Amino acid sequence: MSIKRLTKTRIPTASGEFYLCLYDSGDGEEHMALLMGDLEEKTDVLARVHSECFTGDVLGSRRCDCGEQLAMAMQRVAMAGEGIILYLRQEGRGIGLLSKLKAYDLQDEGYDTVEANIALGHGADERDYSIAAAIFHDLGVTSVRLMTNNPAKIEALEALGIEVTEHIALQAEPNADNLDYLRTKMLRMGHTISLNGANGD
C-alpha cells in the first residue's frame, strides 16, 4: 500500500490539542491520523484504528457504538498525553454509506448486521487494514497498544507487520437501539464486548 502525507495541522478539541495528518492512499479516499505527543520511533504507542461511521460519529446515532468509541479513544489518548487515532474512510465496515443505510432497513425487518450485509451482496466485514499499517509505518510506529474490541483487527494489523503489544477494550454502554447490534458483534464476530446483563440471558 502506497500512501502520501498531504498535510499536518493543529486541531484543538474538547479532549485536548491534537495534530491531524491527512493522507492520500490512492484509493479515492483521504484517510487521517489524529496525533498527540512526540511519537516518532516510539514503541507500544496507544492507538485506535477507527473506521468512518457518519451516522454514529457525526449524528450520534444510537444504532451502533462507533461515536462513543471514538470519543473514548480521544479521551484516553488525551489522558495519556500521547497516542494515535487513525480515521479510515471505510464506512459501514467497508461497504459504503448507501449499502450501510440499506442494511439498516433490513435490520429493521429482523436481519442482524451480518445477515444484512450478506443479503446485499457484501461480506460481513470488507475493511482493508493495509492503509492503517502504511500510516503507522509512515509515522515510525511499529508496535501499538490497540484500543479495540475486534480480534480480527488485531490479527490483520499483526499480519501487516504492526505488533499489537496490548489489547485495550473500548466498552460503550448498551442501549435499547444497539443491543442486537452489539450482541451480533459479540456472538457472530467474536468482539470482546460485555453486555452487563443487558442481553437478558
Catalytic residues: 125, 127
- In order of 79, 87, 108, 137, 180, the CA distances from 73 in angstroms are 10, 11, 29, 20, 23
Q: Do residues 127 and 88 lie in contact, with contact meaning Cβ atoms separated by under 8 Å? A: yes
Burial bucket for residue 91 (CB in 10 Å: 0-12, 13-18, 19+): buried
Q: Do residues 117 and 95 lie in contact, with contact meaning Cβ atoms separated by under 8 Å? A: yes
Q: Do residues 110 and 119 lie in contact, with contact meaning Cβ atoms separated by under 8 Å? A: no
Q: Nine-digit cell at 139?
A: 509515522
